[in-house]
Structure 1
Amino acid sequence: MELSVRFENTRDLPASSGPVTVGWFLNDPKGGVIYYPPERFRGAEKNKLHAKSASRCPAVINLESRYFVIRCPYDLNLEFIRDKDGKPGLRNLNGDASGIRAKKLGEKLHITPEREWRYPDIPTIQLSLPYIFISDEPVYASQLSPFMHFTKNPMPGTIFGGRFPINVWPRPLMWAFEWHDTTQPLKINRGDPLFYINFETMPQDRGVVVTEAEVTPELKDYVEYISGAVNYVNQTFSLFEQAEAARPKTLVTPKKRRE
């Protein structure tokens, strides 16, 4: 099947069968042990005894099987502040008890400039993550709030993600949060669901297998070729076809397990 950033470009081609292989890797392996591998969504122990239980419903099973969970790599307990000049900032409420050093947290987590907020007085914070997803077939990845996980203390805002083709635009993921109620702290424990990833395939009923991928020289060069484009141009989607032209034939090489 040809690669394409638009599903409609594949409609006249023979339909593929079997699951689509999606690869993932960390673009910065330093400290990689703290990052949880992506995992397929599975609810808590469910009632499957009754024939009419929702946990036995094919529609429910089909939907849940298409979401993959990314978990928070460290504890976050943050307060939104403004300094004496009114500049927005963050305070780590865990203080000296924090598991992550302030310097390292500052490298990973930041508030976007106030003029870039989508809504006035609703701060946007971003957490940089090293996860990159790739595919050798047309696949779109969508980043979503972990809406199927219950939390006793809801977060004081909303998560917003995005949708992009991982077969031509492999990029490190960013967790973005809009802080609607800044009087409340933002608290996420290590291991809590941070967001979901959903993969769209063609045809839509194909399954998805997610596997850790080798970072081959060709893959590394391609990621570097497109990295940081958002810092230089607006509307990076206009670059997809140019990136596709430079794409190596194969991105996904499943990682070999050590004996």
Structure 2
Amino acid sequence: MQLSVSFENTRDVAPKSGPVTVGWFLNTTKGSIIYDPPERVRSVEQNKSHAKSASRCPAVINMESRYFMVKAPFDIHLAFVRDNEGKPALRNLNGNMSGIRANKLSQQIHITPEHEWRYPGVPTIQVMTPYVMISDEPVYVTQLSCFMHYQRDQLPGTIFGGRYPINVWPRPLMWAFEWHDTDKPLKINRGDPWFYVYFETMPQDRAVVLTETERTPELLEYMDMISGAVNFVNQTFSLFQAAEERRPETLVKPIRRSKG
């Protein structure tokens, strides 16, 4: 099957069968120990005592099989404030008890310029993540909130992600949050469900196998080619075709870890 950014472009070739292999990796090794592997969302491991339990429902199992959860790598406990000039700013409410140094926190989390907010008075903050997804056949990833995990303390806003083809556009995921109730703090503990990734395949009923993949020279060179494009053009989707033409045939090389 040809590599394509459009599922419709694959209609003239025989569809593949069997699981789709999706690779994931961290685009940095510095401090990478704090980032846990993505976990498949599974409720089937809950109540199995009754045949009619929701955790046994084929529809539920099929849906959950395409969702993977990423945990928060560090504590986030922030207040939204404005400085003396009225400019948006963040205050770390953990203070001296914070598990992350102030200079590192400011490197990881930032507020987008106010004129870029989608809604007036609703700040957007972003957290860089090192998670990258890649595939060797047409697969779209969608990043979204952890709607299947109950949170006793609800976030004071909503997260928003995006949808794009990882076979031609592998890039680090960004956690973006719109802070609707700025009177309330934003608090997320390390290890809490942070966000989901959902995979679309062709055909749609194919299973997804998520595996850690090597950061090969070919993969890093390809990522370097497309990185930063958003800083130069407004519509990066227009570059997908050009990226596809310059893409190596194979980029996914699963890591084989020895046991014992």
Same fold (TM over 0.5): yes
Identity among equivalent positions (%) equals 69
Displacement of 1:258: 4.0
C-alpha distance in 2 between matches for 1:69 and 1:124: 22
> Structure 1 residue 256: deviation in Å?
2.4
Question: 1:155 aligns to what?
Answer: 155
CA–CA distance in structure 1, aligned partners of residues 67 and 74 of structure 2: 22
- TM-score scaled to structure 1, two decimals? 0.98
Letter in 2 for 1:250: T
For these two proteins, the number of residue pairs brought into alignment is 259
Unaligned runs of 5+ in 2: none
**RMSD of aligned Cα (Å):** 1.0
Partner of 2:39: 39
Structure 1 unpaired stretches of 5+: none
Q: Distance in 2 between matches of 1:43 and 1:86?
A: 46
Partner of 1:208: 208
CA drift of 1:28 comes to 1.0
- 2:166 aligned partner: 166
Separation in structure 1 between the aligned mates of residue 15 and residue 243 of structure 2, nearest angstrom: 24
Amino acid at match of 1:102: A
Asked if the contact 2:109–2:127 (Cα under 8 Å) also holds between the matched residues in 1, the reply is yes
Alignment match, 2:114:
114
Superposition pairs of residues 74-223 of structure 1, within 5 angstroms? 74-223=74-223
| Residue identity opposite 1:221 in structure 2 | E
Partners of 1:114 and 1:43 in 2: CA distance: 40
- State how far apart, in whole Å, the 1-side matches of 2:255 and 2:53 are: 39
- Measure the CA separation in 1 of the matches of 2:234 and 2:48: 50
SS of residue in 2 equivalent to 1:244: helix
Aligned-partner Cα distance in 2 for 1:201–1:243: 20
Alpha-carbon distance in 2 for matches of 1:139, 1:45 = 27
Instruction: Identify which range, 48-57 or 157-166, moves more after superposition.
Output: 48-57
Matches of 1:138 and 1:67 in 2, distance apart? 17
Which one is further off, 184-193 or 36-45? 36-45
Cα offset for 1:45?
Answer: 5.3
Quote the offset at 1:44 in angstroms: 8.4
Cα displacement (A) at 1:42: 2.1
Seen in structure 2, the aligned counterparts of structure 1 residues 258 and 53 have a Cα distance that, compared at 3 Å, is closer
Distance between the aligned counterparts of 1:249 and 1:44, measured in 2? Answer: 37
Deviation at 1:53, TM superposition (A): 1.4
Distance 1:258 1:80 in 2: 46
Question: Match for residue 68 of structure 2?
Answer: 68
Deviation sequence 1:115-171 (CA, Å, 0-9, x none): 000000000000000111000000000001100000111000001000000000000
Q: What's the TM-score, normalizing by structure 2?
A: 0.98
**Offset at 1:46?**
2.2
Distance 1:70 1:80 in 2: 25
Q: Given that residues 42 and 61 in structure 2 are in contact (C-alpha distance below 8 angstroms), is that contact kept between their aligned partners in structure 1?
A: no
User: What displacement does 1:43 show?
Assistant: 3.3
